[in-house]
Structure 1
Amino acid sequence: MTDTAEQNTGIRVRGLEKSFGGQHVLRGIDFESARGTSTVLLGPSGSGKTTVLRSLNALEVPERGVVGIDDVEIDFARLPPGKAGRRQSERLRAQSGMVFQSHNLFPHRTVLENVIEGPVLAQRRPREEAVADAKVLLDQVGLGDRVDAYPFQLSGGQQQRVGIARALALKPRVVLFDEPTSALDPELVGEVLAVIRDLAAEGWTTVIVTHEIRFAEQVADQVLFLDGGVIVEKGTSAQVIGDPREARTRRFLKRVLDPG
């Protein structure tokens, strides 16, 4: 356990270990993210980025390691079985909002109904309050005029922006983005990245898995480069992207930025 002062600040990750079958996908992940900062996870496919992200809200349960968000902390090696363990996982999960690669909107519900689903059903907040908050958030992501639209009436970029508003509607302490533009046509990527950039500028605590290197340069307070289930290099975007120390980092960036 960390002391009280440390527990009240941002994200803490210590010694995450995770295997799938015989594959050891996380090999002792350690990092911290201060409250109000943006951390970007970069790395090749299969490096463990998404597993780290999903471990932050216990969608994946590591065999070992500690995850803390502000004053909520789980030691996964000591997670009790059954209901007690599920309650601990749910308490950690409640600290964050997740934006997935695919939009995962309810097709039979309007934009507004999609955004208020979590606050009303999961958090038991009054519907009137949830609706008022949702309209503010939809304005924020540029969709204030589409509250009554259905997902099939929206572009992929608009659907992903609804997904961001839906995550924010839960009033999380941390917002987690898992490759939020990977399922979009290239011309729609910019509108989603602009919303995420604005959130970071407003002081939301974010952790972002992305392959958009130039976006990472602009938005990240901290960049973690993962490969083979370990953090190979971490630092500011200027350090890790602009002047990487490790050969593995340099090879990855060259392959992504100069594929020819």
Structure 2
Amino acid sequence: MTETAEQDLRIQVRGLAKSFGDAHVLRGIDFDSPRGSSTVLLGPSGSGKTTLLRSLNALETPERGVVRIDEVEVDFAALPTGKAGRRESGRLRAQSGMVFQTHNLFPHRTVLENIIEGPVIAQQRPKEEAVAEAKVLLDQVGLGDRADAYPYQLSGGQQQRVGIARALALKPRVVLFDEPTSALDPELVGEVLAVIKDLAADGWTMVIVTHEIRFAGQVADQVLFLDGGVIVEQGPPSQVIEHPQEERTQRFLKRILDPG
């Protein structure tokens, strides 16, 4: 790889391995995500998608493997114990914003208060600056008029859009989505997916776990199909989704797209 090509990479993963007891969930994962690209992780339940996503920001700690986001690199096999290890993991975690399956908003705080919590408390940024930026983000996700609302006053789709704004408020290098529509009623899925498409168009670097195959085809620059803790097939959606080469990928997509 040339130096220029390496500088264009935002995420590099090499040899990532993770077990839970006797279950080998990740078995040596390698992939790159260029700056400004969207990577979608597909695969059946238990294939390792969420564990891989959570390993990218050290919410899970692999036994071995290297994750690099821009200039921050963690070699998990050499991760120190105690405070030093937590500090190193924290540096990696600070590079990304995470959007979970459920929005996890503070119920006793307004939408605006939820969004500024991280920038003000965790990042020690001035409150006035955080508020101004939060209002811009709320406009971006289509909720500019809901800053003073409480979570119970919002639909599930609106709460998830607040969750996206909250992740972006941390000014991450990478945004990670863990099945962001799986907990939503079907009629609310589209509004969340539309926001993610807009982020892709704006050049955010994203890694997305989803079962929304058609959405994946629209938003992804590359698709990784995982099964049994390994990447079975990877490439652009025109290959992996429209013309999969591996029989396991073909069976998975047929089951999802043509369940009858």
Task: Identify the TM-score tier after normalising by the shorter chain.
Answer: over 0.9
Say whether the 8 Å CA contact 1:7–1:69 is kept in structure 2: no
**Alignment-derived partner of residue 122 in structure 2:** 122
In structure 2, relative to structure 1, the CA distance for the partners of 1:13 and 1:105 (3 Å cut) is same
In structure 1, how many angstroms separate the alpha carbons of the residues matched to 2:224 and 2:38?
A: 11
SS in 2 for 1:68: strand
Task: Quote how far apart the aligned CAs of 1:177 are.
Answer: 0.1
Is 2:138 the counterpart of 1:138?
yes
The residue type equivalent to 2:92 in the other structure is L
Please report the RMSD computed on the Cα atoms of aligned residues, expressed in angstroms.
Answer: 1.3
In structure 2, how many angstroms separate the alpha carbons of the residues matched to 1:242 and 1:82?
A: 47
Is 2:240 the counterpart of 1:257?
no
In structure 2, how many angstroms separate the alpha carbons of the residues matched to 1:241 and 1:173?
A: 27
SS in 1 for 2:59: coil
Is 2:22 the counterpart of 1:27?
no
Q: Which deviations, in whole Å up to 9, do the C-alpha atoms of 1:146-173 show, x marking residues without a partner? A: 0000000000000000000000000000
Task: Quote how far apart the aligned CAs of 1:190 are.
Answer: 0.0
Task: Quote how far apart the aligned CAs of 1:3 are.
Answer: 7.5
The residue type equivalent to 2:74 in the other structure is I
Q: TM-score normalized by structure 2?
A: 0.98
**Alignment-derived partner of residue 158 in structure 1:** 158
**What aligned pairs does 1:109-258 form with structure 2 within 5 A after superposition?**
109-258=109-258
In structure 2, how many angstroms separate the alpha carbons of the residues matched to 1:225 and 1:47?
A: 9
The residue type equivalent to 2:10 in the other structure is G
How many pairs are equivalent? 259
In structure 1, how many angstroms separate the alpha carbons of the residues matched to 2:239 and 2:230?
A: 18
**What aligned pairs does 1:37-76 form with structure 2 within 5 A after superposition?**
37-76=37-76
Q: TM-score normalized by structure 1?
A: 0.98
In structure 1, how many angstroms separate the alpha carbons of the residues matched to 2:240 and 2:92?
A: 30
The residue type equivalent to 2:106 in the other structure is F
Q: Which deviations, in whole Å up to 9, do the C-alpha atoms of 1:78-117 show, x marking residues without a partner? A: 0000000000000000000000000100000000000000
Gap runs ≥5 in structure 2: none
In structure 1, how many angstroms separate the alpha carbons of the residues matched to 2:133 and 2:166?
A: 10
Q: Which aligned segments of 4 or more residues in structure 1 are displaced greater than 6 angstroms?
A: 2-5
In structure 1, how many angstroms separate the alpha carbons of the residues matched to 2:165 and 2:31?
A: 27
Q: Which deviations, in whole Å up to 9, do the C-alpha atoms of 1:47-100 show, x marking residues without a partner? A: 000000000000000000000000000000000000000000000000000000
SS in 1 for 2:175: strand
Q: Which deviations, in whole Å up to 9, do the C-alpha atoms of 1:194-227 show, x marking residues without a partner? A: 0000000100000000000000000000000000
In structure 1, how many angstroms separate the alpha carbons of the residues matched to 2:18 and 2:159?
A: 32
Task: Quote how far apart the aligned CAs of 1:21 are.
Answer: 1.0
In structure 2, how many angstroms separate the alpha carbons of the residues matched to 1:7 and 1:254?
A: 38
**Alignment-derived partner of residue 81 in structure 2:** 81
SS in 2 for 1:10: strand
Say whether the 8 Å CA contact 1:33–1:39 is kept in structure 2: yes
